[in-house]
Structure 1
Amino acid sequence: MKKLITLLLFGFVFAAFTNNVTAQEDYSALNLYVSFGGNGAINAQYEIPIVENVTISPAVVIPFDFDNLSVGVRADYYFDSLMKLPEPWDIWGGVDTGIVLGGDDNFNINAHVGVEYKFNQTWGILAEFGGGTASFGGVGVGIHF
């Protein structure tokens, strides 16, 4: 029952923010990457702009051992305008939180920083680094809409 309530809450948060897009640059993106370190995993999140330079993202993490599934939410601040970065570059910092479903249910919270270089309006390559209970970092692609 706890898992069902968590998934419903996660779905509500996702639905509540999908219609409130007001960011200066369009940060809507599907990020897919592989994390490495102590807890290597496949990661996916969909960024939804909520205010200028801030996104919120539902996130899913599947460890390489496929022993469990982590679902959560992230919040990121983009430093692009503050640092006056040219268009193909994005730099962000943020926090993420979620629960691990399967095995021993756990709650986690982490901080992270990342960078992305966009090849064109749709594709980018990204690297992200973090700590806490997640991993040490990861590399992957950003698909922008």
Structure 2
Amino acid sequence: MKRLLTLFILAITFSFANVANAQEDYSALNLFVSFGDHAAINGHYEIPIAKNLTVSPSAVVAFDFDYIALGGRLDYYFDSLFKLNEPWDIWGGVDAGFVLGDDDKNDDFSLNLHAGVEYKLNDTWGIIGEIGGGTASFGGIGVGIHF
């Protein structure tokens, strides 16, 4: 069941890869670090699929290489709802995927909620802060690279 759900999320993510019209008219690579018990490097590639809506394949690699997580995200941008102008973005969403540990006992399915904010320094770079909760989400700080 877990594998079927992950394959479904990844299939949806890649099937919408050429559709545009989200908050921005470009894709973004978001890279950030999280600290604490789940210290890791996080990354996801946002693909616009509708006005204010993006999907993203995502990956998380623990600093101690104890685990990696692979999955997908769905984010909704609240900018038009809150009437926010550039350089700010605010979003909320859900992510799901598999957490693969260094032994089979650590393998698990994760389902998380998250919320974030970005301040864009220019058309290419932004500063990101994100918080989350669920089975494997922890938030962090990082950069957004817009294409």
TM-score, normalised to structure 1, is 0.88
Deviation at 1:22, TM superposition (A): 2.3
Contact 1:37/1:135, CA 8 A, preserved across alignment:
no
Determine what percentage of the aligned residue pairs are the same residue.
Answer: 63
Q: Distance in 2 between matches of 1:30 and 1:54?
A: 15
Stretches of 4+ aligned residues off by more than 6 angstroms: 5-8
Cα gap change, 1:74 to 1:8, in 2 (>3 Å): closer
1:144 alignment partner in structure 2: 146
1:99 alignment partner in structure 2: 98
Deviation at 1:143, TM superposition (A): 0.1
2:134 alignment partner in structure 1: 132
Bigger shift: residues 121-130 or 22-31: 22-31
Unaligned runs of 5+ in 2: none
Unaligned runs of 5+ in 1: none
Paired AA for residue 46 in structure 2: E
2:113 aligned with 1:108: no
Deviations along 1:100-137, whole A, 9 cap, x unmatched?
12323200001110000001000000000011222432
1:50 alignment partner in structure 2: 49
Q: Distance in 2 between matches of 1:24 and 1:118?
A: 13
Q: Distance in 1 between matches of 2:9 and 2:68?
A: 14
Paired AA for residue 52 in structure 1: K
Paired AA for residue 75 in structure 1: L
1:71 alignment partner in structure 2: 70
Q: Distance in 2 between matches of 1:72 and 1:125?
A: 23
Q: Distance in 1 between matches of 2:58 and 2:21?
A: 21
1:36 alignment partner in structure 2: 35
Q: Distance in 1 between matches of 2:100 and 2:134?
A: 18
**Count of residues in correspondence between the two structures:** 143
Q: Distance in 2 between matches of 1:41 and 1:7?
A: 21
Deviation at 1:25, TM superposition (A): 2.4
Bigger shift: residues 128-137 or 39-48: 128-137
TM-score, normalised to structure 2, is 0.87
Provide the aligned C-alpha RMSD in A. Answer: 2.1
Q: Distance in 1 between matches of 2:107 and 2:62?
A: 14
Cα gap change, 1:12 to 1:22, in 2 (>3 Å): same
Contact 1:54/1:77, CA 8 A, preserved across alignment:
yes
Contact 2:112/2:137, CA 8 A, preserved across alignment:
no
Q: Distance in 2 between matches of 1:46 and 1:64?
A: 20
